[in-house]
Amino acid sequence: MKIYTRKGDDGTTGLLYGGRVAKDSAAPIAYGTVDEAQSFLGLARAESDGELADILLHIERDLWVLMGELATAPSSRDKLTPGATLVTDEMIKHIEVLIDDISARFDPPTEFVVPGQNRIGALLDIARTVIRRAERDSLAAAGPESVVVPYLNRLSDLLWTLARWQEGTSLPTRSVQP
């Protein structure tokens, strides 16, 4: 099987469960941004091990679910499977539990944080900013019953928390000077 199909040469892309849309329409823009974030998470995971690597792998798998939902036409939404191709409230709750657990392991910064205290933290902050963009992009793509936007909102909070955790509590934060 060849990797190329030539079907997208006309500027369209196929959707899950059928149909085609312009590559610059809301859905491909949104799931393309999620794909970009997933790649940064993969880079962070490649630099990690243990618990953090496990958390990041779980997130990357969740993002496949999220991209599946975004890549489905509203008319095919009933074909989506919760947790496999449809983001669920339980997935959001899992992220909230992780945020609470990880947050309890360090003292939060008391000043503005400048990314870059270490490589893992910086990579997580890059992924966080791309997830924030994915959240904005998804506003136009996610249907009214979708929980994609709340999931991405919570995920950006988790990535901020993971970055601070990886930086450790002994590293200084920097305040903005006028």
In this structure, is residue 39 part of a structural domain?
yes
Indicate whether 3 belongs to any domain: no
Report, as ranges of residue numbers, the positions in the chain whose pLDDT lies below 70: 169-178
**Residue 124 counted as domain residue:** yes
Number of H helices, E strands in the chain: 5, 2
Range of the domain at 93: 12-167
How many domains does the chain fold into? 1
Task: Supply the CATH number for residue 151's domain.
Answer: 1.20.1200.10
Please give the pLDDT value at position 114. Answer: 87
Residue 4 placed within a domain: no
Could you identify the residue written with the tokens 């995920």? 155
Is 129 part of any domain? yes
The answer as to whether 175 is a domain residue is no
Is residue 6 assigned to a domain? no
For the entire predicted model, the pTM comes to 0.91
Dihedral pair phi/psi, residue 22, rounded to 5°: -65, 140
